[in-house]
Amino acid sequence: MTLNFLEIIFILLALSMVYLNLIDIFNYVILINLYPYLLIFTILAAIASIITHLVKSNVIHHIFYGIIAVYFIFFSYTFFRIYHNVKKIENIGAPSKITLKNEASFIYEDTTMFDEIIEAVSGAKNHIHIEFFIYRDDHIGKKIKDLLIQKTKEGIHVRLIYDGIGSIGLDKNYIKELKENGVEIRPYNNIIGSIIKGKLNNRNHRKIVIVDGKIGFMGGINIGDEYLGRDKKVGNWKDSLVKIKGEAVHEMQKVFLQDWHSISGEAIREDASYFPKVEVENTLPIKIIQSGYDAYLIGIKKEYYELLSGAKKRIYIVTPYLFLDQNMLEAIQHIANKGGDVRIILPKNTDHPFVGWVNDSFFRELLQNNVKIYQYSDGFLHSKIILVDEEIVSVGSANFNVRSQYLDYEMNAMIFSKEELRSMLKELNRNMKNSEEMTLQEYENSTIWQKLKAKLGVLIRPFI
């Protein structure tokens, strides 16, 4: 049996209607997890259909049918695991609380970020807890390794978590040397483990360092030379980090210990060595927000929506990857259209080709509704910042994309302070001076190819 062109178009339209209505059947988080698998399955089926019409070899036909059959089995298993995971724990989690006795300082220079972390780790007296999405064995990675080994020889307890796929290139000998010298190091789900658990599309994207339960760092940097601007392909790297002392560090510690227990199976007793008496007298409200696909109802997405919908006159967003659902778009446009100051700062040159397509897919609607868009041109902008009105700043690991809102494990610090906001505002103004403002006229005058890439960007939003 052969299909003519119109029949193929009809089948594709039917599949499109099914995909569009899946949201009424399944949990949205399940669909976001499954979207890449569905897209790959559709592409494979389309290729097989074309091949069977163009190539008359039965052997080739059987090979393609076999590939589709194997992939369908893999997809079915993954669907079951994802459905089981989300349904089992979708409502687990405790609401984040605001802590009061804190000190915080923002760090914007790449060398200063690592210098501050190294100084704090060097002064550790009891323990060091480290958790990063990307951990490399390059120059800065070796420097951190040597320091951690030195601290274990001093009797300091060191635990390190890295993402099994984000850090896929981490050398086995590097890991072995750390283990042999007393560093407890664990991956969050390598490729095989991720497939078995149905979590291939869920990553640990947190970037945190905790020293003695007293000092905490979080932000956008990972452990790698590119974060020091040493990758010639990327060039200058612009990021942000916040250093925290006080009660908020205890909230960070709780998240790390939960992660360690989940990954290693070791339940660590929460005693005074991990939660020491807070010596900070300063009052600075900070709320630590954690998130993951299994805690989406009380995580990053909720934080972002509350910040945007609660804004009165100003919203500044800094992110390398942009995704706004309809509610967020309406909240932003409402402030901008009533005279509010709404600005989004993005990198002009992205670290992945398709990221720019996704970012551009929002430009037209945002610009038509008086939102100002700046494209940072002095290197790659990787900061994840939201500044709202006169006293709220959010900094952390979470991007403004689908992965951070629905799929990955993240951590942000929401800081309530006019003084800290003014400090951040100065940095964002410097960023905008090194940016090119995109206007609606410039967007409308862009080439057909640029507009087509923006349209294609809509299709790949769930991947970014």
SS3 (DSSP) at 141: helix
State the catalytic residue, choosing from 205, 243, 287, 453: 205
Instruction: Give the amino acid at 371.
Output: V
Question: Structure tokens of 246?
Answer: 């006080």
253: which DSSP letter?
H
* 382 a catalytic residue: yes
State the catalytic residue, choosing from 127, 214, 382, 453: 382
State the catalytic residue, choosing from 151, 199, 238, 384: 384
State the catalytic residue, choosing from 137, 212, 360, 408: 212
* 212 a catalytic residue: yes
Q: Residue 28 CB: number of other CB atoms within 10 A? A: 13
**Type and span of the H or E element at 252:** helix 247-264
For 324, counting Cβ atoms within 10 Å of its Cβ (0-12 exposed, 13-18 middle, 19+ buried), the class is buried
Q: Residue 41 CB: number of other CB atoms within 10 A? A: 17
Q: Which residues contact 213 (CB under 8 A, 6 or more apart)?
A: 126, 127, 249, 250, 253, 273, 274, 275, 276
Rg (CA), the chain: 24
The answer to whether 128 and 155 are in contact (CB under 8 A) is no
State the catalytic residue, choosing from 157, 302, 389, 451: 389
Please state whether 183 falls in left (phi above 0), alpha (psi between -120 and 50) or beta.
beta
* 384 a catalytic residue: yes
**Burial profile 305-316: b = 16 or more Cβ within 10 angstroms, e = fewer:** eebbeebeebbb
* 125 a catalytic residue: no
State the catalytic residue, choosing from 129, 151, 199, 207: 207
Q: Residue 157 CB: number of other CB atoms within 10 A? A: 17
* Distances 398 to 43, 134, 318 between C-alpha atoms, Å: 30, 14, 11
Please report which residue ranges of 90-109 form alpha helices under DSSP H. Answer: none
57: which DSSP letter?
-
Active site residues: 205, 207, 212, 382, 384, 389
